[in-house]
A and B are shown apart, each in its own frame.
Chain A
Amino acid sequence: QVQLTESGPGLVHPSETLSLTCTVSGFSLTGYSVYWVRQPSGKGLEWMGRMRYNGDTSYNSALKSRLSISRDTSKNQVFLKMNSLQTDDTGTYYCTRARRVYRVMDAWGQGASVTVSS
């Protein structure tokens, strides 16, 4: 079945870089896009960016200067890197699978909790 699993450090110091990995199974990264979404504790959801099925990327304009998304199709992994982290970047980070039709996120990982603190 379709699975997405986020992994990465739970604690990041201010001004440092966050690196997260999304490992997928049950579908191909060349057939579906993978999006990253984050959620500050107790708050709403924010779309961060995407790795399209064809290898193209696009980013939320508010995060574009700090964010990079890449992939390794041989390992079924998508990577997120975001630099210059601050305390308001604390929250849960999800990777999701998106269908081409409607560009809807139809499967979500369980989320990676990230705390930015010194």
Chain B
Amino acid sequence: DTVLTQSPALAVSPGERVTISCRASESVSTGMHWYQQKPGQQPKLLIYGASNLESGVPARFSGSGSGTDFTLTIDPVEADDTATYFCQQSWNDWTFGGGTKLELK
């Protein structure tokens, strides 16, 4: 299985820029996607194909990367962005990262 590794938690202040990373144990080309999950809610798709913004998602969110290293950037961060962010690959079956919990200072 392709293992996706994310840092467990980050804390930033509103208005700052934050980058959330995801590293794959093998190449997933651009088959990487990012989801936001708030407590008690289902995940919501933010970015697909490594860098494509899902319709209706604010342009503050962006994604980059290919192969094994990927990044989700939020700029600027807003209070409503408090959530857990998951990366997920669909190149080699489907696996998810462990999630990065974003907290605002």
A106 touches B42 (CB 8 A): no
Q: A107: which B residues are within 8 A, CB to CB?
A: 45
By DSSP majority rule, is chain B's interface helix, strand, loop, or mixed?
Answer: loop
A47 touches B94 (CB 8 A): yes
A94 touches B94 (CB 8 A): no
Query: How many cross-chain pairs have Cβ atoms below 8 Å apart between A and B?
Result: 49
Task: A104 to B88: give the CA distance in the assembly, Å.
Answer: 9
B90 touches A104 (CB 8 A): yes
Q: How large is the interface on B (under 10, 10 to 19, 20 to 34, 35 or more residues)?
A: 20 to 34
By DSSP majority rule, is chain A's interface helix, strand, loop, or mixed?
Answer: loop
Per-residue contact bits, chain A 34-65, to B (CB 8 Å; 1 contact, 0 not): 01000000001111000000000000100000
Chain B residues near A (Cβ < 8 Å)? 31, 33, 41-45, 48-49, 54, 86, 88, 90, 93-99
Other than A45-B86, A102-B31, A106-B48, give 18 A-B pairs with Cβ distance below 8 A. A44-B99, A45-B43, A45-B88, A47-B93, A47-B95, A47-B96, A94-B42, A94-B43, A99-B48, A104-B33, A104-B48, A104-B49, A105-B33, A105-B43, A105-B45, A105-B88, A106-B54, A110-B42
